[in-house]
Structures are given as C-alpha cells and as structure tokens.
C-alpha cells in the first residue's frame, strides 16, 4: 500500500479505484501461509512468502537450526554433483532431492529423515546425473503423491512412505518420450534421444503439465509441452512447439522441420493461473544452437512466452522474444504472474493481471495476461544480418522493450575491459582487438566473436515478486567467446568416443580436430597465434597437470572449470589415449556421440558447430570485463523503473586487495517475504544473504558448508519460521556438499 501512496495519484482516487477494480478482476496470488507448497513458492511462481516472524528487525539473530545430510557428496573421490533443488514443504514435511538424484522426505522442524527413494536402487538403471531442481506434490484425500523425474522417466512416489506407486504409468514410471513422435509420424524412432525434466512441471486439477530439457545439437527431440494425468500417468495433451503441417506457425520453418529438428523446449519451468485455467511457459532456442541454416524463418514457438489453455493445451497467445535464435538465448526462467498498475486504453490507470518474463540478455517483457499485449511498448529493431555463415538467413529485426532498462550490459566496448591489473588489461585487450564485437545480434562466424547473454543474465533460479509489483532479479554479466567451425572437417565415419566428441566440441577450435595442431583449425586471419599440437601431450604432461590446466586455464588457454569432472576426465583419457573404445551411444549426454551417416538428414548434422561454451576470462580466471559481474536488482514493474541494483557476492581475496565488492557469477534464485526480506545464496563465495527488500542493503549473511547453487525456501513448522537452502557446492571447481541447511531465530 505504501508504494501506491507514493505514486502520483491522490489517495482518494486511488481508494475508489482499488475498491472498484481490485476485487472484481484481480486474481489474488495464491499465497503459501505456512507451507512452501510448490517449486517457485506458489502457482504464480513468485517465490514470495507472507511470513513475518523473521523480519528486518530480528534477522541479524538468525542462526543455524538444523542440517540434513543427504548422504551424497561425502565419499572422498566420488564424483560430486551440485544440488539445484528448491525443496517444497507440505504440512511440516520437507521434500527434496540429493546430489545423486535421490528423493527424500524430512521433518521440516528438525531435519530428521522420514524416508529416501533411490531411483538407481534398481541396478538396471544406469545413473546419468542431471539437475533435479524440484519436485511436485499432489493429493486427493488419502492419495498423496510426489511426482519427480530422473533421466527419461517420470515417477509417482507415495508421499507418506517413499514407495513407488506401481499403478502409475508402466510399473510406476512414465517414459518421457511419450507423444514426441515415432517412426510412423516423423519417420524415425526417438527412444534413444535424450529427454529429461530438470525443472518440475505444474499441477492443474489432475494434470501435471511439464516441459523438458533436450540436447542442443542435431540429436535433439522436439521440446513439446505436455500434460500427463497425475493418477494414471497417461498422456493428456501435447502442444507442438515445432508446429505440424496445418498448425499455426508451421510456415515459420522450412517444410517438414518437425520431422528433423528439435529443441524449442520449455526447460526452465512454467506457472499457472488457476482461475483463468491458463499455463504460461517460456521456451528455448531451436536446435541446433548458433546455426540456423536448416531452419530459415522466425521458428515459432522457439524463444516464446506461450499462454496455453491448461485443460486442453490449446494456444491462447504467444510472444517471441528472439526470432530465429542464433545465440542460444533460451528463455531461462519461468515467468512471474504479477498484478501491476498501468494505463488502460483510455489513458487512465487500472490494475492489470500481467505476466513478466526475464531473458538471458537482460530484458524483462511484461504482458497483459489475457491478451499477450506488452504493457511497455516493444519495438522491432533492425539488427545486422551480415556477415553470416553460408546458408544462414538471420532474421532482420528483433524485439526490444522500451522499459524496463536491461539489467545487464548489452554491447562490449573497450571501456569495459577489466582494469583489475595492468597485466589482465593487456591480456584481455589483445583478445578484444582480435575478435569481432558490437551488436549482440551479430550473426555467429568462424572468426571469434565476443557476446554477452549466452548464459544469463536471468538464470534458472527465476525471480521473486511481491504483491506490490516489484520484481527481484539476480543477474550475471558474463562475456562469451563464440567461434564457429566447419564440421565437415570432422573425420567421417569414425565412431567418436565421449572424450573425442567433447574434445572436438570444446577444444578443436584452437587445437585442431582431434588435437592435431592449429593447421586445420582455421585460425582467424587476424590472429597469427599458435596453439600447441596435443598429439603427444602425454609425453609432456601427466593427468594431474592437464587436469589443473583445464580447471584454471593458462595464457590464452581458457579455463574449462565449468565442465563436469566426468567430462574433463573423458577429455583427458582421450588425450592420453587411455579411454575405452567407443561405447554405446550415451543417450543422456549432451553431446552428439553417435556417428552421423553421410547423406542422412536425421539426426541433423549442421555444417557449422560452435566451440563449446567458452567464457571470456583473464589469465587469472576472473571475468575479462569490469565489475559488477553479478548483481541483484529490484525493478518496479508498475513504472518500469529500478528501485535499486547492488553487486551480489564477492571475492574475498579481491576485497583484501581493497577492491569494492565485484559481485560473482550466481546460480540459484531469490525469495522475498512480507517480513521485508530477500534471501539469496547462489554466489561463488558460498554465502547465503538476507537483503532489506526496500533498500538492497545486506542485513545478514552466513557462510554455508558448501556453495548454495539453488533457491532457498521459507515456511513455518511448529510455530517457528525457517529458511532452508541446499548446499551442494561442486560448481566452478568449488568443494562439493550434500546437505540442506535450515536457519531460524533462536
């Protein structure tokens, strides 16, 4: 209320306006009182709690209440996995997932384990790890279920006992390939193609509506949005994000694309407006990332905010945030359902039910929830279309919202190059001068190009929003170096191992295909730099030395700390020639491992591939640009103006050197409470912090046992308010952890 009083409307007018409009057409967000019943806190995805026991006055006294050890990430030498899970709390029981994808239930007041479910207890299930960001609860009377996905299966688990519900799907599991197409409909069988659900779906009546995560290469199945019956596991409806002949949007692709191309998937989750019976989802780029020669056109419904009828899966409206994506600019987080004050068609202010979607490159699009009409005007802006790779037809315009201003930088200028040390500046400046840079819509090329916004920007942790229409958004400002290479140089008909495949994706752009020096690596003409031939690298370096080099990078060699330990090991085995012979295609890996037969049009083998996801860093592994590298933002979506922006996280060693907080890259989202607080971990410094949501000031912080790369929750149990975060660490070479940590007032 405070907020509205500060606006330019007289209180009298405002009063009558609210009473006239608030009750009639505004859906009150479904607020969790004591529980944290869903991923995202409520159906609107607002990561908002009405609890006030912990507030700005007493938060400084917050202390550790309990720790739950999942039992994973504790064995020395065992491969660590992070925990990206935001747990849920239903009637005093907390449900979450462990680093090795086990499902568990604990007493939310004590952290005492009630049960654990291990999807790999069945020895036939080979563990292939991927993030499980949350689970879904559904109940009908005594029938209480947890729905969660591991690999290509969806499970229903009895919430009271932790036992598989055998009547669901086939012996308790639903194959997520269901409804994607088969030999009859699309000409081939997709069962060996990787599909998983990393962010949980949403419940509407007896339906679980879900997106999926698929590969980003030519072996991606289509990312259809689907609904499954919660009781039976039966497929209820499918929305084709790559349209079939006769469906709306079919002409925005080349003919028959639905048979050959995949992606356009909602991997980051969705939200539901129960009263309207509508579900809102954001989708990712079509496959393959970075090259669109096989998919001329706008490519609906990739990179779209889509509103669907939750009952039928029929499209109500859509808005495409990137046409013909060439930059992997997936919509990286679920939308937020908010209610804001905007001028109506008559120029007079009114309350509007809206949906806000943040993007990897720093925009927030705000739409009318019923019509999809932008509340702040969006301009179609001309963008560069050349030079582009042969066969590529970049789309000539892209949508840019007039408000809010972007929450991350857009285009790299020399002025933004790091000045952390003179050496770092010099090192980065050289690469900067050797690379293409400019518009973030420059088409990718074989020359190296520097871009913002491949990674977020906004990220999978999503955003918090309070009932006043303020969006809280944590952001990364990272620079990426993209260099495309001609994939036809790939040795034909050689069955690739995981290691060689990873090498050719991540390393060959500099070291040549299979490591045979830069002669065949098409080094850009402007860079006469030599890259070492790695054919006999085993004679010079041992396993440990290569491992260290990959973790830290050196000179012009970037760090590959973001690759999993398993992937790095596979690459090292390939280099040291100690790898096993080609294994059966690994259906869960994110790289193309199956050899592509010449002339086959499926799986699609693009003529150009990218150089992996290479971040542009300095020789000491800090971001190559001036800080802030990570920020927290409060954006008023009534006005489109910022309330505040502050750095999020710090590097203790840089603080010691006298630098102000730089922010760090951050993964995991914020929550906000009626107690006036915003809680977030997500940073490299392994801390969880509370901010005053009005000012952005840090009012409490705690060093976690391991990095909290997840989104916290808050709830009441036995009369006490708790804040819980998963501390799984592991990312970015940080130490692993396997616990959930709870805080409360003493």
Q: Is 592 in the site for ligand HEC (CB under 6 A)?
A: no
Pick 135 or 537: Cβ nearer ligand HEC: 537
Q: Is 664 in the site for ligand HEC (CB under 6 A)?
A: no
| Contact residue for ligand HEC among 105, 136, 351, 510 (CB under 6 A) | 510
Q: Is 735 in the site for ligand HEC (CB under 6 A)?
A: no
Q: Is 591 in the site for ligand HEC (CB under 6 A)?
A: no
The residue with tokens 């940590």 is 741
Among 69, 159, 199, smallest CA distance to 742 is for 69
Pick 500 or 638: Cβ nearer ligand HEC: 500
Smallest distance, Å, CB 541 to ligand HEC? 6
| Contact residue for ligand HEC among 145, 324, 420, 511 (CB under 6 A) | 511
Surface-to-core class of residue 656, CB atoms within 10 Å of its CB (0-12 exposed, 13-18 middle, 19+ buried): exposed
Q: Is 540 in the site for ligand HEC (CB under 6 A)?
A: yes
Give the integer Cα–Cα distance in Å for 55 and 681: 18
Smallest distance, Å, CB 550 to ligand HEC? 6
Smallest distance, Å, CB 512 to ligand HEC? 10
- What is the pattern of x (binds ligand HEC, CB under 6 A) and - over residues 285-304? --------------------
The site that binds ligand HEC (CB under 6 A) totals a number of residues, namely 23
Among 528, 601, 617, 538, smallest CA distance to 571 is for 538
Among 364, 650, 633, 338, smallest CA distance to 474 is for 633
Smallest distance, Å, CB 247 to ligand HEC? 41
Smallest distance, Å, CB 361 to ligand HEC? 23
| Contact residue for ligand HEC among 551, 557, 654, 698 (CB under 6 A) | 557
Q: Of 683-702, which residues contact ligand HEC (CB under 6 A)?
A: none
Surface-to-core class of residue 685, CB atoms within 10 Å of its CB (0-12 exposed, 13-18 middle, 19+ buried): buried
Radius of gyration of the chain (CA): 25
Give the integer Cα–Cα distance in Å for 570 and 313: 41
Smallest distance, Å, CB 606 to ligand HEC? 19
End-to-end CA distance of the chain: 31
- What is the pattern of x (binds ligand HEC, CB under 6 A) and - over residues 408-427? --------------------
* Cα angle value 170/172/176 (rounded, 5°): 65
CA distances from 720 to 52, 447, 518, 636, 689 (A): 11, 58, 62, 31, 20
| Contact residue for ligand HEC among 148, 237, 531, 604 (CB under 6 A) | 531
- What is the pattern of x (binds ligand HEC, CB under 6 A) and - over residues 479-508? ---------------------------xx-
Among 134, 88, 105, smallest CA distance to 461 is for 134
Pick 557 or 698: Cβ nearer ligand HEC: 557
Pick 534 or 678: Cβ nearer ligand HEC: 534
Q: Which span sits near ligand HEC by CB under 6 A: 137-145, 556-564, 589-597, 713-721? A: 556-564
Smallest distance, Å, CB 529 to ligand HEC? 7
| Contact residue for ligand HEC among 77, 123, 422, 555 (CB under 6 A) | 555
Q: Of 613-642, which residues contact ligand HEC (CB under 6 A)?
A: 614
Q: Of 163-192, which residues contact ligand HEC (CB under 6 A)?
A: none
The residue with tokens 């804001």 is 340
Q: Yes or no: say if 635 and 443 are a contact pair by the CB < 8 Å rule.
A: no
| Contact residue for ligand HEC among 275, 314, 492, 554 (CB under 6 A) | 554
Q: Is 114 in the site for ligand HEC (CB under 6 A)?
A: no
* Cα angle value 687/474/43 (rounded, 5°): 105
| Contact residue for ligand HEC among 127, 277, 396, 532 (CB under 6 A) | 532
- Within a 13 Å sphere around the CA of 730, how many CA atoms are in the beta-carbon half? 28
Provide the CA 538 distance to its chain's centre, in angstroms: 37
Surface-to-core class of residue 580, CB atoms within 10 Å of its CB (0-12 exposed, 13-18 middle, 19+ buried): exposed
Q: Which span sits near ligand HEC by CB under 6 A: 1-9, 287-295, 434-442, 532-540? A: 532-540
Among 520, 503, 502, 501, smallest CA distance to 512 is for 520
Q: Is the peptide bond before 283 cis (omega within 30 degrees of 0)?
A: no
Q: Dihedral angle at the C-alpha atoms of 688, 694, 697, 703, nearest 10 degrees?
A: -10
Among 706, 707, 710, 720, smallest CA distance to 679 is for 710
Sign of the torsion formed by the C-alpha atoms of 657, 660, 661 and 663:
negative
Pick 613 or 666: Cβ nearer ligand HEC: 613
| Contact residue for ligand HEC among 571, 637, 678, 734 (CB under 6 A) | 571
Q: Yes or no: say if 471 and 635 are a contact pair by the CB < 8 Å rule.
A: yes
Q: Is 609 in the site for ligand HEC (CB under 6 A)?
A: no
The token duo for 370 is 């019923």
Q: Yes or no: say if 224 and 238 are a contact pair by the CB < 8 Å rule.
A: yes
Smallest distance, Å, CB 413 to ligand HEC? 22
Pick 140 or 536: Cβ nearer ligand HEC: 536
Q: Yes or no: say if 333 and 360 are a contact pair by the CB < 8 Å rule.
A: no
Q: Is 560 in the site for ligand HEC (CB under 6 A)?
A: yes
| Contact residue for ligand HEC among 356, 509, 635, 699 (CB under 6 A) | 509
Pick 315 or 511: Cβ nearer ligand HEC: 511
Q: Which span sits near ligand HEC by CB under 6 A: 149-157, 229-237, 539-547, 730-738? A: 539-547
Q: Is 671 in the site for ligand HEC (CB under 6 A)?
A: no
Pick 442 or 571: Cβ nearer ligand HEC: 571
Residues that bind ligand HEC in the complex, under the rule CB under 6 A:
506-507, 509-511, 531-532, 534, 537, 540-541, 546, 549-550, 554-558, 560, 571, 611, 614
């Amino acid at each position: 209320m405070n907020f509205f009083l500060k606006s330019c409307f007289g209180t009298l007018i405002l009063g009558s306006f609210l009473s006239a409009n608030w009750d009639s057409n505004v859906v009150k967000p479904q607020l969790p009182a004591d529980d944290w019943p869903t991923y995202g806190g409520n159906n609107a995805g607002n990561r908002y709690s009405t609890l006030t026991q912990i507030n700005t006055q007493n938060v400084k006294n917050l202390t550790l209440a309990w720790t739950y050890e999942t039992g994973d990430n504790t064995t020395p030498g065992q491969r660590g996995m992070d925990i990206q899970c935001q747990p849920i709390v239903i009637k005093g029981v907390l449900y979450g997932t462990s680093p090795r994808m086990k499902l568990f239930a604990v007493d939310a007041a004590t952290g005492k384990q009630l049960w654990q479910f291990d999807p790999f207890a069945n020895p036939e299930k080979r563990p292939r790890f991927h993030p499980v960001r949350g689970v879904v609860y559904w109940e009908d009377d005594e029938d209480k279920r947890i729905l969660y996905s591991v690999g290509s299966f969806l499970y229903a688990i009895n919430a009271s006992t932790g036992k598989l519900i055998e009547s669901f799907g086939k012996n308790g599991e639903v194959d997520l390939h269901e409804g994607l197409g088969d030999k009859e409909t699309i000409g081939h069988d997709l069962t060996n193609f990787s599909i998983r659900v990393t962010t949980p779906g949403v419940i509407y009546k007896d339906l679980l509506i879900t997106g999926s995560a698929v590969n980003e290469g030519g072996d991606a199945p289509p990312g259809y949005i689907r609904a499954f019956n919660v009781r039976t596991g039966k497929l209820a409806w499918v929305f084709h994000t790559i349209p079939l002949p006769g469906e709306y949007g079919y002409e925005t692709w080349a003919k028959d694309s639905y048979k050959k191309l995949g992606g356009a998937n909602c991997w980051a989750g969705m939200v539901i407006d129960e009263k309207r019976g509508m579900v809102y989802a954001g989708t990712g780029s079509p496959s393959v990332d970075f090259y669109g020669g096989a998919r001329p056109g706008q490519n609906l419904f990739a990179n779209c905010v889509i509103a669907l009828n939750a009952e039928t899966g029929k499209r109500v409206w859509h808005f495409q945030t990137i046409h013909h994506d060439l930059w992997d600019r997936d919509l990286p987080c679920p939308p937020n359902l908010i209610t804001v004050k905007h001028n109506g068609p008559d120029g007079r202010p009114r309350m509007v039910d809206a949906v806000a979607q943040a993007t990897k490159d720093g925009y927030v699009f705000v739409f009318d929830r019923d019509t999809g009409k932008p509340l702040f005007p969006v301009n179609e802006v001309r963008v560069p279309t050349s030079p582009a790779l042969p066969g590529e037809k970049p789309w000539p315009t892209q949508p840019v919202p007039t408000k809010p201003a972007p929450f991350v930088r857009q285009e790299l200028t020399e002025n933004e190059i790091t000045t952390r040390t003179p050496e770092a500046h010099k090192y980065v400046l050289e690469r900067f001068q050797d690379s293409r840079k400019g518009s973030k819509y420059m088409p990718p090329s074989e020359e190296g190009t520097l871009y913002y916004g491949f990674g977020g920007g906004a990220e999978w942790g999503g955003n918090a929003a309070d009932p006043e229409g303020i969006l809280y958004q944590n952001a990364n400002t990272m620079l990426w170096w993209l260099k495309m290479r001609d994939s036809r140089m790939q040795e034909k008909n050689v069955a690739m191992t995981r290691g060689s495949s990873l090498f050719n994706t991540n390393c060959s752009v500099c070291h040549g295909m299979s490591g045979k020096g830069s002669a065949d690596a098409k080094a850009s003409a402007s860079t006469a730099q030599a890259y070492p031939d790695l054919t006999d690298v085993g004679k010079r370096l041992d396993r440990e030395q290569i491992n260290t080099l990959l973790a830290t990078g050196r000179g012009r060699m970037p760090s590959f700390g973001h690759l999993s330990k398993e992937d790095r090991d596979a690459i090292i085995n390939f280099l040291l020639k100690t790898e096993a012979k080609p294994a059966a295609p690994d259906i869960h890996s994110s790289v193309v491992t199956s050899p592509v037969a010449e002339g086959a049009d499926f799986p699609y083998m693009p003529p150009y591939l990218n150089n992996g996801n290479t971040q542009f860093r300095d020789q000491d592994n800090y971001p190559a640009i001036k800080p802030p590298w990570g920020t927290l933002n409060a954006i008023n979506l009534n006005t489109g103006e910022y309330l505040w922006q502050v750095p999020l996280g710090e590097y203790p060693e840089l603080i010691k050197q006298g630098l102000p907080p730089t922010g760090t890259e951050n993964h995991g989202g914020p929550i906000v409470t009626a107690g006036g607080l915003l809680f977030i971990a997500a940073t490299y410094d392994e801390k969880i912090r509370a901010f005053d949501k009005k000012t952005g000031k840090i009012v409490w912080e705690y060093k976690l046992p391991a990095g909290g790369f997840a989104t916290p929750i808050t709830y009441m149990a036995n009369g006490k308010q708790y804040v819980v975060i998963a501390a799984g660490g592991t990312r970015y070479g940080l130490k692993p952890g396997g616990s959930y940590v709870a805080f409360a007032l003493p």
